[in-house]
Amino acid sequence: METITAKTPWESNMGDLPMHLDYFEGSMYDKVAEIAKQYPTNIAFDFMGKSTTYKSMLQEIDRCAKSLRTIGVREGDKVTIAMPNCPQAIYMFYAVNRVGAIANMIHPLSAEKEIEFYLNESESVTAITLDQFYHKFERIRANTKVVNIIIASIKDALSRPIKAGYMLTEGRKIQKIPKDAPVIRWKEFLNLGKACFYQYAVARKSEDPAVILYSGGTTGTTKGIVLTNKNFNALGQQVVAANPIFRPGDKMLAAMPLFHGFGLGVCVHTMLSQGGRCILIPRFTAETYAKQITKYKCNFIAGVPTLYEALLRLDSMEKADLSCLKGVFSGGDSLSVELKKKFDKFLYDHHATIQVREGYGTTETVTACCLTPAHMFKEGSIGLPFPDTYIKIVKPGTDEELPYGEEGEILLSGPTMMKEYMNHPEETAQTLRHHADGLTWVYTGDLGIMDSEGFIFFRGRAKRMIISSGYNVYPGQLENILDAHPAVQMSCVIGVPDPYKMQKVKAFVKLAAGFEPTEETKKMIMDYCREHIAKYAMPYDIDFKEDMPKTLVGKVAYRVLEEEELKKIQSEQTA
């Protein structure tokens, strides 16, 4: 009698795609160097009309690595990279890895106090940023352990004709840096490497820490997530395994930012570690995104739902030919059923032969660890786990696994799982838990359902969080900042539905005694917010309340405020 072995969801639904992969043992730099030797003349990335081959990219990375050694960066040191998607950021990211240091990735538009926090939390010894952000760094530098600040400029990465145009437009807006400023300018930095005659490269293992990305974790408090070489290399192999249509030389539009796991992990490292070609976009707008898709005939695009919502409204896309697309991925927030239908029709109307594929992940697993198969779609599903990645649904906070179809907390396990939360051992222990099945699981704080075929359905965030244009905004952090202002007795921050951003940030404030709810008071608090809060998390408005609604245990009932705001929006729309 024939024995029938039960297949896993991946086997049953993914056809011949592998369930298990042999992962590269080595650093991120090692993986990219391997590809550069294999495809030296292939283009690694394009930036504002200028192309760079893998061979040239590797040479620049090595120059950077020598310079980092020359200025004293050593194995295990943290180097903060506060850069948009540009060539210098790519070179520096892999050069930091080459010398055995750890890349601390932060948003260049962060407020001064946030930058100070990131530098101190990571104990960074060196930082690199653009000339336009220099003054923010200089104002807080004395409060940190940073020894060297390297200043790059977009103009240094441009071809001559484009550079002239840039200096007449964007370049003119940048505040001048004093000639005697205590910084190392990019060209000077590269020249320092000429003095490096000793061994500058450091051998790193796949399990060694390599990158720090920031997230609120399960509590909404900002923490550095320590990720390893293997986390990133494994992600690259998994993404390509889940997309067998990928071929070396395929083009990915890299508009998602480098301080975000989606941008760094999928759009950049996956491409460069697998022989792909990145189209780098330094400043994202829907218009530039659309223009680059058609100009470069991109094969893959990745973005948040707000991006796809914006593309639908662009007149410039009316006659676009999108037959070049092999994959369109959505993550960072839930893709509504209606938006998916609209965008799938848009793709069909513009000659694409594919549909949007929704994925899911957390920064604790770099980014995506689950993706809708190319050939099989279930309405509302975020797909199936990547090879070697396991998902289970448990009763929130426990290890009690729930039956198919029951809602619970989403747990993840696999090769992209973080090493730890930096400087937060207790939270690491709460989030990474070892189970009787022999696996360590990430408790995501997200709610979902698994069906009998292994497809996952995202149901919401157990932790309080606002997602605005794909950025995670943690109300608790903003409330702490607001509450520190002398005019504020109590605050509450909520997300308000927005057709473009999905959610925008709004603050409610109960004023302290002696302050009046005037426009002057609002302006004073908003000015304070701009100093302490990143642009993407800034409240668009502040409402003053005589008192806040409370829960039975005395906490501010933010859900009541959300419902009130929603009713107000609905009444305005029907008026």
Closest CA to 403 of 355, 451, 360, 370: 451
DSSP code of residue 319: T
391 close to 410: Cβ distance less than 8 angstroms: yes
pTM confidence score: 0.84
Assigned domain for 390 exists = yes
Q: In what order do the strands lie in the sheet with 184-185?
A: 184-185, 148-152, 126-130, 78-82, 102-105, 209-215, 223-228, 420-421
| Dist. CA 445–CA 218, nearest whole Å | 6
User: Are both 404 and 341 inside the same structural domain?
Assistant: no
User: Are both 178 and 283 inside the same structural domain?
Assistant: yes
| Dist. CA 203–CA 100, nearest whole Å | 7
389 close to 414: Cβ distance less than 8 angstroms: yes
DSSP code of residue 282: S
pLDDT at 172: 65
- Confidence category of residue 472, pLDDT binned at 50, 70, 90: confident
Average pLDDT over residues 422-450: 95
Assigned domain for 312 exists = yes
Assigned domain for 370 exists = no
Residue 168 pLDDT exceeds 70: no
pLDDT single digits (tens) 319-337: 899 999 999 999 877 787 8
Assigned domain for 3 exists = no
pLDDT at 2: 36
pLDDT at 156: 84
Across all residues in the chain, what is the average pLDDT? 90
Assigned domain for 16 exists = no
User: Are both 164 and 271 inside the same structural domain?
Assistant: yes
Tokens of 427: 């939270």
8 close to 387: Cβ distance less than 8 angstroms: no
Q: Which of 427, 461, 495 is the last residue of a domain?
A: 461
CATH number at residue 278: 3.40.50.12780
Q: Long-range contacts: 431-436, Cβ < 8 Å, 24+?
A: 431/217, 431/218, 431/364, 433/399, 435/399, 436/399
Helix (H) or strand (E) holding 565: helix 558-574
Residue 76 pLDDT exceeds 60: yes
* Secondary structure of residue 523 in the 3-state scheme: helix
Q: Which of 305, 331, 349 is the last residue of a domain?
A: 349
Residue 492 domain boundaries: 466-574
pLDDT at 165: 66
Question: How many domains would you assign to the chain?
Answer: 3
Cα 195 from chain centre: 36
User: Are both 495 and 561 inside the same structural domain?
Assistant: yes
User: Are both 342 and 387 inside the same structural domain?
Assistant: no
Least confident of 35-44, 303-312, 417-426, 538-547: 303-312
User: Are both 257 and 111 inside the same structural domain?
Assistant: yes
Instruction: Write the secondary structure of 321-355 as one string of H (helix), E (strand) and C (coil).
Output: CCCCCCEEEECCCCCCHHHHHHHHHHHHHCCCCCC
User: Are both 517 and 443 inside the same structural domain?
Assistant: no
User: Are both 311 and 431 inside the same structural domain?
Assistant: no
User: Are both 520 and 538 inside the same structural domain?
Assistant: yes
